[in-house]
Amino acid sequence: MTPARGKNVERTAATRAALVGAARRLFEEQGYEATSTGDIVSAAQVTRGALYHHFADKLDLLRAVVIEIQEGLIEVVLAAALAEPEAWDLFVAGWTAFLNVADHAALRLLMVDAPAAMGQEAWREIDDVYCLNAVIAGLRDLIDHGVIPEQPLEALARVLLTSGNALATHIATSVDPAAERAALIPVFVHQLEFIRPARVEAP
């Protein structure tokens, strides 16, 4: 790659990042519907042509924002999970980290505004790539470590993810997220126990 081409690639990446960053900030602050493409290009300090060079429309830009949020969530979840030495504690820590995410504006955008704008099917496709697959991987790890028995995992992962997403939405949109987390996360963690077989104490 020539130096000139390298600089063009860097400028292109920087412009795209500026658009995604500006859009995310505005979507979180004032909502997707209330944000215009003019607001976004002004905040990103780029031209309208630059926006349409990178994205088909505002909805396409929202999709990029949703992916960025999901990638950030996965990083948080994995960091918390991998800090635990035991398979079950790792699994629970991942869920707890997800529900403890402090960026409530991002969760509201992800869980409320995005599905409404994109449609449930398009939104779920992204959520499946990042979250459903992560839950399946976590369950597979539990099987590999003998914590739960071998079983079809996608249905179980879907049940857990649907519950977790609903709880995250409730927490993110509540008047007092901290109080809701404190009250509800222990209940959710307790409910996770249903996937573990009952352990019988030796006589």
From residue 23, alpha-carbon distances to 9, 15, 45, 49, 68 in Å are 21, 12, 12, 15, 11
Once rounded to an integer, what is the mean pLDDT over residues 73-94?
A: 94
Tell me, yes or no, if the two domains 1-55 and 56-203 fold the same way. no
CB 99 within 8 A of CB 168: yes
Question: How do residues 128-186 score in pLDDT, each as one tens digit?
Answer: 999 999 999 999 999 999 999 999 999 999 999 999 999 999 998 899 999 999 999 99
Angle, vertex CA 111, rays to CA 192 and CA 59, nearest 5: 145
Q: d(Cα 192, Cα 163) in Å, to the nearest integer?
A: 10
Q: What pLDDT does residue 167 have?
A: 94
**Band of pLDDT at residue 5, cut at 50, 70 and 90:** low
User: Considering the domain 56-203 in this protein, what is its CATH number?
Assistant: 1.10.357.10
Q: ∠ CA(64), CA(72), CA(167), 5° rounding?
A: 100
Q: Where are the domains of the chain?
A: 1-55, 56-203
Residues in the chain: 203
Distance CA 80, CA 94 (A): 6
pTM > 0.85:
yes
| Domain 1-55 CATH assignment equals 3.40.50.9100 | no
- Structure confidence at residue 48 as a pLDDT band (50, 70, 90): very high
* Nearest one of 2, 4, 118, 143 to 66, comparing CA atoms: 118
Task: Judge whether 59 and 141 are in contact, CB under 8 Å.
Answer: no
- DSSP structural state of residue 158: H
The predicted model gives 33-37 an average pLDDT of 96
The mean predicted confidence, pLDDT, of the chain is: 91
Q: Using pLDDT thresholds of 50, 70 and 90, give the confidence band for residue 10.
A: confident
